[in-house]
Chain A
Amino acid sequence: MNRSVKDTASEFPAVAGRLNAVPSQSPGYWTLVRKRLMRDPVTLIAAAVLVLIVLSAIFAPLLAPYDPFMGKITQRMKPVGFAGHLLGTDETGRDMLSRLLYGGRLSLTSGIVPVAIALAVGGFLGISAGFFGGPVNSVIMRVTDIFYAFPSILLAIAICGMLGTGLFNTLVSLTLVFIPPIIRISESVTTQVRSLDFVEAARASGARPFALMRYQVLPNVLAPILVYATSLVSLAIILAAGLSFLGLGVSAPAAEWGLMLNSLRQMIYIDPLLAALPGVLIFLTSMCFNLISDGLRSAMDVRLKL
């Protein structure tokens, strides 16, 4: 089934316009991509900031000055810059800096893991649907249509309401939410690639399906799918935080930015700066992923070779 323009656009923020499937194995392609990226200061800065955030989350146990889960109740709600607590303390006297560092672990996990799993599952199903066409395509795509009938946040909330709170359930629900759009994109791109001349030629010359998939199709579809997936990470982070905000996501006493945002919400009239910190980090991280996704897209887009 030939997918129309509509299917490649999406409610998911960063997919702008259609994804073009074009031969990307031409020699020097990746060199070119790298070159373009090196000339794109915005993407480079975003990447640098993101690397910093990721590293600080990974090395949180080394960097954090305090235990993020144990505070001193007498030291609660100290302002940013308070002696001994660089970013203040939260409502039970836990060090904010430590909690924000540790919080990055869960927030990044809930951003990256669901997208990665959805990419593997959805990519596999979507590429299969696009590659084999016919009944395989019909079965996969019709089931996808059903899931696709739910706006993402609605589906995430419904699934989380059903499974209950906790990190694991958040990851499951977000993964389920992202599988359908990835299937759609993958199927669409694969269908386009399959009908391209050089693939047709390979098929005509008697290439076996596996070889065709491995050498002709995969290399050409992975890039656009990957670019799309990076843009979903930002959405995943915001959705995960939103779930925690509604009390459906990661549950206390875990350190997670959305949860911290929620529990500090009442402090907004008392210490706005403190209450804003987790929100700023969610925004910053999500922005970095969006900028990187944009940068990758324009760097990989061969149309710019004109």
Chain B
Amino acid sequence: MKFSLKGAVAGLLLGTMLGSGGAWADGGTLRIAMTAADVPTTTGMPNNGFEGMRFLGYTVFEPLIDWDLSDPSKPADLRPGLAESWEVDPADQTRWTFHLRKGVKFHDGSDFNADAVIWNLDRFFDDKSPQFDANGSAITRGRNPLMKSWKKIDDYTVEIDTKYPASYFPYIICYTLIASPAAFAAAGNDWAKFAQAPAGTGPFRITKVTPRVSVELARNDAYWNPARVPKLDKVVLLPMPEATTRLAALRSGQVDWIEVPPPDAIPSLKSAGFNVVTGVYPHDWPWEWDVSEGSPFHDVRVRQAANYAIDRDGLVQMLNGTAIPAKGWYTPDHPLFGHPKNDYTYDPDKARALLKEAGYGPDHPLKAKILTSTSGSGQMQPVQMNEFIQQNLAEVGIDIDLETTEWGTLLVALRNAPGSAPTMGANAINVSFATSDPSWLAKFFHSKNKAPVSSNWGQYSNPEVDAVLDKMELEFDPARRDAYARQVNELITDDAAWLYVVHDMNPRAMTKKVKGFRPAQSWFQDLTSVSME
């Protein structure tokens, strides 16, 4: 490897300068290859889904209520962010009051206060505000459809009214990030220009944006929480959608960390001296099947049979341990998993028996069509995994016609009710989901949310589930709310509302130089504890 002289000299100079700075100079630079096809937007409302939020959301910008990513041993929950505390008005359960943190400064030096919060809420939820950001608004509103009104009470108190009482509002407001109004003004009131020189309050600040190539972050030394001032000097984020490319970049030393190495490459990465880090996080990789009248999956016995027919351990083995078997909506060891009656182990005989009971057998095989994508966010190895399931189901007499399409088309199918043209005649769709908090249960399983209205693609309808979900929405006591969520998981597990397959373990491969990374049980990760050797 040759070095350029200029680079070496610059490096020396920089080293001397930093060296004189003392303790904060030893963090180093971490280069991460993301799976995104593009640099997520840097305006404080990243696109590219939760990966965008992971790397260019919570690292640089902060919400009022944030994720607590510090304890890898349990599912990540919420903690105070830019709001030190919050409460719902017991008399009017649509009214939330947020008490803001004092002494916080944006990266551009301006102050964080109630005006900044109101300004940001206007940015996303008021079409007529001068700072309205159509694109960021679309993403934010998609995640937060509850906002009705908001106002400043004093410099450090903000009040938000929701459209209807919703106990899980904190799990929704946590996706609304706060950017600096002063930096927007400095960028000529233009979000595209702001994206080049953005300012948030987070532990990292953005120093360089090269569209479609990279983003560079530097440590925010003035971060309000001294415990979370990053150890790293710099983070470079590179979009690399092709798994093979990421692998080549890691192996040739171009990056230090790659997201989602192909499972088959993991043994060879390990033997080549790389660390492979995995961790459970709220992720489901299911088949959402059409359970309405006339569908082959209308009969609960068929749905249970399929759930018993899958060799999940074999599948996990094929994925080189980058997943855990799914037996319900939550991971089996999750505090909200509960105690369903059905434990979906690999039991082909039971599956055959159930199918026989439902009237299917060798002379009358069950046929169904499954739609999946060739790739896509959280889809893991969709084609290979579905082919595996296809083999499993064939053994018990379920004949699966597998159709693959690309990610965009699959998402369009998901927006349309089964039987409509965009769903291509599929009886089930294989799409993976985040299961971060209880509010998501209602989206998928409440009968009022049947597609095309909302995310209940399979038209699942169970009065018992609906009733519990309704009670959960109005239960503001976290412990009792959790009890309802547990009850829902038990019900939808026994009713086999989905084909539960696996939960992803989100593999990451990194060089041995990367130290101090503690994978949180979350879609989001904390880079502040990481350092480079």
Contacts and interface: CB of A to CB of B under 8 A. Distances in A.
Interface of A: 70-74, 76-77, 91-92, 164-165, 247-248, 251-253, 263, 265-270
A263 B383 contact: yes
Given A91-B264, A248-B406, A251-B405, A76 B391 contact: no
Contacts of A165: 374, 404-406, 409
Contacts of A74: 314
Contacts of A76: 318
A252 B404 CA distance: 6
Interface in B230-266: 243-244, 247, 251, 262, 264-265
A270 B262 CA distance: 11
A73 B318 contact: yes
Contact of B383 (A73, A77, A252, A267): A252
8 closest A-B pairs (Cβ-Cβ)? A266-B262, A251-B404, A252-B383, A92-B387, A247-B374, A252-B404, A265-B244, A247-B406
Given A72-B391, A247-B406, A252-B374, 10 more contacts: A70-B394, A73-B311, A92-B384, A164-B409, A165-B409, A252-B404, A253-B402, A266-B247, A266-B262, A266-B265
Contact of A266 (B243, B390, B394): B243
B391 A71 contact: yes
B294 to A, nearest CB: 26
Given A164-B409, A269-B265, A91 B384 contact: yes
A77 B263 CA distance: 13
A248 B407 CA distance: 11
A251 B405 CA distance: 7
Given A71-B391, A73-B388, A251-B403, A266 B318 contact: no
Contacts of B247: 266, 269
Contacts of B318: 73, 76, 92
A254 to B, nearest CB: 9
B268 interface: yes
Nearest to B244: A265
A77 B403 CA distance: 23
A70 to B, nearest CB: 6
A164 to B, nearest CB: 6
A267 B390 CA distance: 22
A73 B404 contact: no
B384 to A, nearest CB: 5
Interface of B: 243-244, 247, 251, 262, 264-265, 268, 311, 314, 318, 374-375, 383-384, 387-388, 390-391, 394, 402-406, 409
Contacts, number: 64
A9 B95 CA distance: 73
A73 B268 CA distance: 20
Contact of B264 (A72, A73, A248, A270): A270
Contact of B402 (A247, A252, A265, A270): A252
Contacts of B244: 265-266, 268
29 contacts: A71-B387, A73-B318, A73-B391, A74-B314, A91-B264, A91-B384, A92-B318, A92-B388, A92-B391, A164-B406, A164-B409, A165-B404, A165-B405, A165-B406, A165-B409, A247-B406, A251-B403, A251-B404, A252-B402, A252-B404, A253-B390, A263-B384, A265-B244, A266-B243, A266-B264, A268-B244, A269-B247, A269-B265, A270-B268
Contacts of B405: 164-165, 251
B394 A269 contact: no
A269 B268 contact: yes
A57 to B, nearest CB: 22
B262 A70 contact: no
B255 to A, nearest CB: 16
A269 B251 contact: yes
B314 A73 contact: yes
A131 B29 CA distance: 69
Nearest to A91: B384
Contacts of A251: 374, 403-405
B374 A267 contact: no
Nearest to B402: A253
Nearest to A74: B314
A74 B315 CA distance: 10
Nearest to A246: B406
B130 to A, nearest CB: 37
Contacts of A253: 383, 387, 390, 402, 404
Contacts of A263: 383-384
B88 to A, nearest CB: 46
A68 to B, nearest CB: 12
A216 B404 CA distance: 51
A66 to B, nearest CB: 13
